[in-house]
């Protein structure tokens, strides 16, 4: 099974790398022969016309990362791995359609804005899924930022599991968890693209960590008090 998955991921990487670099390799040729549709070759020129070339480039790069993470992620059960790979294939289909965007004389600013928004949403969706499974890592050279990101991601996963099981049921917990997930996604994407958050993200990660830790501490206190009453 794993050999089959490895080969499937390798072919998808071949198609995505060719879309990024514009150079066909052996894996790309094999993937196309196997029926995997390629990303539109002229996407850079067309998406540059709506200022979305860099954002779509980011989508393709993190999609490659996600495929690799799905394959090597130690925390994933086989069923989770398969489900995640299927989800990534769905994202690939969305990326494929977005790569076909053509700005024409009849295109409106609304059409352009909608296409740009879809690209941004796709990048965010992929990032959120990778984070939710605990597979995201930062590329920054700042060790403190990498460690804070990893620790908060692990804490977020534990809190999410506890919330689902009913251990965390205080008011506002779900919103705090979602806000933290969004923050991690922003940091993850910024780390690979715009880097506007550089210098501030460590503080934000630490603040979010304290928030989540407060939620867990409150739950433990309530649990202890309930046991004492019983």
Is residue 35 in some structural domain?
yes
Q: What pLDDT is stored for residue 54 in this prediction?
A: 93
Domain count, the chain: 2
Same domain as 147, residue 67 = no
- How far, in Å, CA of 83 to CA of 89, rounded? 10
Q: Per the domain annotation, does 168 fall within a domain?
A: yes
Instruction: Tell whether 103 and 149 lie within a shared domain.
Output: no
Together in a domain, 12 and 118: yes
Q: Assess whether 41 and 84 both reside in one domain.
A: yes
Give me the pLDDT at residue 198, please. Answer: 63
Residue 137 lies in a domain: no
What pLDDT was estimated at residue 226?
44
Same domain, 126 and 14: yes
**Res 159: pLDDT:** 80
Residue 76 maps to a domain: yes
Contact between residue 212 and residue 159 where contact means Cβ atoms under 8 Å apart: yes
- In this structure, the answer to whether residues 74 and 121 fall within a common structural domain is yes
The secondary structure of 91-115 as a DSSP string is HHHHHHHHTT----TT--HHHHHHH
Full-model pTM: 0.85
pLDDT at residue 229 in the model: 42
The pLDDT value given to residue 74: 83
Same domain, 10 and 94: yes
What is the C-alpha to C-alpha distance for residues 215 and 210, in angstroms, rounded to an integer? 9
Distance CA 88, CA 40 (A): 18
Identify the domain containing residue 47 by its residue range: 2-132
For residue 89, the model assigns a pLDDT of 97
Residues of the chain with pLDDT under 70: 163-172, 195-199, 214-230
Give the per-residue pLDDT at 215.
Answer: 58
């Amino acid at each position: 099974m794993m050999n089959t998955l490895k080969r499937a991921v390798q072919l998808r990487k071949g198609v995505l790398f060719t879309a990024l670099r514009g150079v066909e390799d052996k894996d790309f040729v094999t993937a196309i022969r196997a029926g995997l549709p390629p990303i539109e070759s002229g996407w850079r020129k067309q998406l540059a016309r709506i200022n979305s070339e860099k954002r779509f480039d980011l989508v393709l790069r993190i999609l490659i990362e996600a495929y690799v993470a799905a394959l090597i992620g130690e925390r994933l059960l086989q069923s989770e791995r398969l489900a995640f790979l299927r989800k990534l294939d769905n994202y690939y289909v969305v990326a494929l359609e977005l790569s076909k965007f053509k700005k024409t004389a009849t295109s409106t600013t609304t059409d352009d804005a909608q296409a740009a928004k879809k690209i941004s949403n796709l990048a965010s969706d992929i990032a959120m899924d990778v984070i939710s499974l605990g597979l995201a890592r930062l590329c920054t050279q700042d060790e403190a930022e990498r460690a804070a990101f990893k620790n908060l991601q692990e804490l977020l996963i534990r809190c999410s599991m506890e919330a689902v099981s009913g251990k965390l049921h205080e008011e506002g917990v779900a919103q705090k968890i979602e806000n933290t997930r969004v923050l991690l996604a922003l940091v993850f994407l910024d780390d690979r693209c715009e880097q506007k958050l550089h210098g501030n993200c460590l503080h934000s990660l630490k603040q979010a960590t304290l928030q989540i830790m407060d939620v867990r501490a409150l739950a433990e206190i309530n649990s202890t008090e309930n046991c004492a009453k019983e």
